[in-house]
Amino acid sequence: DAGVTQSPTHLIKTRGQQVTLRCSPKSGHDTVSWYQQALGQGPQFIFQYYEEEERQRGNFPDRFSGHQFPNYSSELNVNALLLGDSALYLCASSLERGWVGYGYTFGSGTRLTVV
């Protein structure tokens, strides 16, 4: 049973560019959440997708956008990259029905470096 798969694992971009990160949830999960983890910090919630719609959003600017596809996979897009966007981006999947706080499965993340 595959866990959460994220791609790519590492990425280097230049300031001002745009980036797309991808996530395939754990089999059976229908909800995808994205987190940003800066070096030395805990993960910060970006947004959550369920039924192809953004259901919740954290305190992130509109440069951060996402999408969920019918097969539950998801993309995170970041426009006009800033140096401060350098971080580990984590995708977490869960099951909407009977949701419990410990029901997340995290991927290994995409390490984004903006230069």
Partner 1 sequence: QKEVEQDPGPLSVPEGAIVSLNCTYSNSAFQYFMWYRQYSRKGPELLMYTYSSGNKEDGRFTAQVDKSSKYISLFIRDSQPSDSATYLCAMSAQRGSTLGRLYFGRGTQLTVWP
The CA distance from 21 to 89, in Å, is: 8
The CA distance from 107 to 91, in Å, is: 6
Residues that bind partner 1 (CB under 8 A): 4, 31, 33, 35, 40-45, 48, 55-56, 58, 88, 90, 92, 94, 96, 99-102, 104, 106-109, 111
Joined together, the tokens standing for residue 50 give 């369920």
Query: By C-beta, is 46 or 78 nearer to partner 1?
Result: 46
Q: Cβ of residue 103: shortest distance to partner 1, in angstroms?
A: 9
Q: Cβ of residue 16: shortest distance to partner 1, in angstroms?
A: 26
Q: Cβ of residue 53: shortest distance to partner 1, in angstroms?
A: 13
Q: Give yes or no for a contact between 58 and 35, defined as CB atoms under 8 angstroms apart.
A: no
Q: Cβ of residue 80: shortest distance to partner 1, in angstroms?
A: 25
Q: Give yes or no for a contact between 30 and 72, defined as CB atoms under 8 angstroms apart.
A: yes
Query: By C-beta, is 33 or 81 nearer to partner 1?
Result: 33
**41 Cβ contact partners less than 8 Å away, ≥ 6 residues apart:** none
Query: By C-beta, is 44 or 73 nearer to partner 1?
Result: 44
